[in-house]
Structure 1
Amino acid sequence: MLDLTGQGTAQTCGGVTRRDFLQAGTLGAAGLSLAHLQQLEARAAETGAAPGNANRSVIMIFNLGAPSQLDTFDPKPEAPLEIRGPFKDISTASSDIRISEILPRHAKLAKYFSLVRSVNDNAPAVHDVGWELMQTGRFFSGGINTPHAGAVASYLMGRRTDLPPFVVLPELMGAGGGNLPNGQAGGFLGKAYDPFVLNADPSKPDFVVPDLLPPKQIGEVRMERRQKLRSAVDQTLAAFERSEDAKLLDSGFQSAFRIMSSPQAREAFELSKEPVEVRERYGMNRFGQCCLLARRLVEAGVRFVTINTFLTVFNEVTWDIHGTAPFTSIEGMKDIVAPMYDQAYSALLEDLVQRGLLGDTLVCNVSEFGRTPRVNPAGGRDHWPQCWTVYFAGGGVRGGQVIGKSDPVGGFPAERPVTPSEVVATIYHSLGYSVEHHLPGPAGRPFPLVDSGTKPILELFG
């Protein structure tokens, strides 16, 4: 993000200092800047009505750490104990789906989501690599950093309301061990398409989003004075106004002022407006409240929300169940991770259904890879990119299905293998974009949304 609050003291003829102006128009270190706002506005003006499925939104839940497919959505009850693990499989609301007993609330809602049990790649079994692949469809190589699917949606579709079009909750992904890009950025589209990042825990009693409010040191009189900046430029700096710098200053300020002063933007983030029983139904924890906030944001017009279930795989109880510290055990997954996740996801899906939002909201649950079919000596499972499960609900997806199949030990695809690029293509398909669509890539060259030959998982929409 640009740092626009330097020590410059140049004044306009209306008495507004450059530093004051930039402080008023800067929205903090949360991934949203004047440049971001200005370029989004320019894109919206350039394209007119939003293309694609204009009413469609996406909530991507990234299961950072990578759940074990055998212990969640692809159980193997007939396999030996060292393969199947300690959990039983259970029936669900869909006759085609059986899942692990540690996700009982998912079982009741299986008619709404569909599983893809054959995702695989041949990339290194490194968290950062999988993060990038599953959110952009490509691995960082040759100096090209492909934009996150949410950044692409921002570029192609623009904003619908005063809210930013692409939001990441609660924070960007942290350390993954590979020191590589995490895929949660605008990539070659530029920092203008980086997400707005909450950078706060919405489960805390004092939760606020200060980046959506005018700085405290700027009173109403000073904010009103800034609104007069355009007329001051009109009257005395005609030559400057014709320059590109003036266009950036003017459009960026108007956009920044709109979002800072928008009641709609502030209210969308105000979880205190939700009844206590609703908040508790999601779970009074970071992930649960992020799911509730995601529902409020798409309801208010945000196009793409990514929720990171966890922030890092180190020294935190996550899906990364190697079995020994600083990682998680299978018991920790059963007792802590799965109940939290099961509660929040089911509450989110139920709310989207009850509010009539699921049809136009694609909820995709993804992860960087799967886990080894055989339990390791520490009683955990290690990284395994050869086969894992993702799942989709809403956004045109027909629920209650299973796409693809793994082998008897959940180690490799046995039917309909699916790549990370196909998962990303499926998101674009839900948004109304063909895989033939191109972006302006590095050096201005056309850059396809996904690699040649990649197709969305069309069976999901049958």
Structure 2
Amino acid sequence: PIGTNVPGLHITEHLPLVSRHADKLAVIRSVGQEDNNHSTGAHAGLTGRKHELKQESFNARQTDFPHFGSVLSYLQPNNGGLPTFVSLPEMIHTTNGAITPGQGGGLLGRQFDPFRINEHPDRRDFSIESLKLPDGVGLGRMAGRRALLAGVDRTASLADRANSSQSLDQFYQRALDMVLSPRARHAFDLAKVSDDQRWRYGYHAFGQGVLMARRLIEAGV
């Protein structure tokens, strides 16, 4: 370990730049849980709630408590084409492939799941497929499609729609907002970052994910 700019506080030698800003950090030493199962422990850490099951390697369920980010999406959704809650580069899972609970909207509904980026940001050809426009379709044409969809929606009775249909509409709306938003496209585009800066974060999934998180925060996520 190495010293920091806070007397008596030491951190790993692998974070020399962070050590200069330790006075801006809040070090939490009191986090713990009552069982040693990864699945239930992760759920507690991601939601702040204990899971009713006391076992390992079970899949996330729609009745799970929501992730903190999903709660924020419910209480204070973002505007301006940017998502409130982003997850990358992949979902946490156990060695047998079970999706760890607590990573999505849970009982709030799938419309409060994070915008998931499945592509790995450390790849040189990194791009987000879900934000790409179809071949031959520009921003103007996509905006026209959005207006057409809005017109069709106005002719339908919202009272007659099932909850799943409403959730799907919100997914479409969120996706269109991001596709048409210059702020979103800029924030998600790591090609606009210099190689020097990308190397400072580390050219691996975690380092580039942190860089992406910084750009998203600066953009307003």
The two structures have a TM-score, normalised by structure 2, of: 0.79
8 Å Cα contact 1:185-1:195 kept in structure 2: yes
Equivalent position of 2:104 in the other structure = 185
1: CA distance, partners of 2:94 / 2:106? 19
1:245 and 2:164 matched: no
> How far did residue 126 of structure 1 move?
2.1
> How far did residue 189 of structure 1 move?
0.5
Q: Select which of 24, 37, 44 maps to 1:126.
A: 37
Q: Secondary structure at 1:163's aligned position in 2?
A: coil
Equivalent position of 1:273 in the other structure = 192
Mapping of residues 235-314 of structure 1, within 5 Å: 238=155, 240-241=156-157, 243-245=159-161, 248=166, 254-302=173-221
Query: Compared with structure 1, are the counterparts of its residues 119 and 251 closer, same or farther at alpha carbon in structure 2 (3 Å cutoff)?
Result: closer
Gaps of 5+ in 2: 54-60
More strand by percentage: 1
Q: Select which of 210, 227, 234 maps to 2:147.
A: 227
Query: Compared with structure 1, are the counterparts of its residues 299 and 266 closer, same or farther at alpha carbon in structure 2 (3 Å cutoff)?
Result: same
8 Å Cα contact 1:271-1:293 kept in structure 2: yes
Q: Select which of 10, 14, 23 maps to 1:111.
A: 23
1:274-306 residue CA offsets vs partner (Å, 9 max, x unmatched): 12221121122211111111011011111xxxx
8 Å Cα contact 1:151-1:194 kept in structure 2: yes
Query: Compared with structure 1, are the counterparts of its residues 298 and 260 closer, same or farther at alpha carbon in structure 2 (3 Å cutoff)?
Result: same
> How far did residue 272 of structure 1 move?
1.0
Query: Compared with structure 1, are the counterparts of its residues 197 and 252 closer, same or farther at alpha carbon in structure 2 (3 Å cutoff)?
Result: closer
Q: Secondary structure at 2:22's aligned position in 1?
A: coil
8 Å Cα contact 1:163-1:265 kept in structure 2: yes
8 Å Cα contact 2:82-2:177 kept in structure 1: no
> How far did residue 244 of structure 1 move?
3.8
**Higher RCO, Cα 8 Å, sep 6+:** 1
> How far did residue 264 of structure 1 move?
1.7
Query: Compared with structure 1, are the counterparts of its residues 176 and 116 closer, same or farther at alpha carbon in structure 2 (3 Å cutoff)?
Result: farther
Give the number of the structure whose alpha-carbon radius of gyration is greater.
Answer: 1
Query: What is the percent sequence identity of the aligned residues?
Result: 38
1: CA distance, partners of 2:41 / 2:112? 21
The two structures have a TM-score, normalised by structure 1, of: 0.40
- What amino acid does structure 1 have at the position aligned with 2:110? K
1:390-431 residue CA offsets vs partner (Å, 9 max, x unmatched): xxxxxxxxxxxxxxxxxxxxxxxxxxxxxxxxxxxxxxxxxx
1:70-95 residue CA offsets vs partner (Å, 9 max, x unmatched): xxxxxxxxxxxxxxxxxxx4332111
Equivalent position of 2:7 in the other structure = 95
More helix by percentage: 2
Equivalent position of 1:199 in the other structure = 118
8 Å Cα contact 1:132-1:139 kept in structure 2: yes
Q: Secondary structure at 2:28's aligned position in 1?
A: strand
Query: Compared with structure 1, are the counterparts of its residues 231 and 200 closer, same or farther at alpha carbon in structure 2 (3 Å cutoff)?
Result: closer
- What amino acid does structure 2 have at the position aligned with 1:158? P
2: CA distance, partners of 1:229 / 1:179? 37
Query: Compared with structure 1, are the counterparts of its residues 118 and 214 closer, same or farther at alpha carbon in structure 2 (3 Å cutoff)?
Result: same
> How far did residue 243 of structure 1 move?
4.5
Equivalent position of 1:351 in the other structure = none
Q: Secondary structure at 2:212's aligned position in 1?
A: helix
2: CA distance, partners of 1:203 / 1:190? 31
- What amino acid does structure 1 have at the position aligned with 2:148? K
Q: Secondary structure at 1:96's aligned position in 2?
A: coil
Q: Select which of 75, 99, 122 maps to 1:156.
A: 75
1: CA distance, partners of 2:170 / 2:65? 27
2: CA distance, partners of 1:299 / 1:93? 25
8 Å Cα contact 1:185-1:191 kept in structure 2: yes
> How far did residue 118 of structure 1 move?
3.3
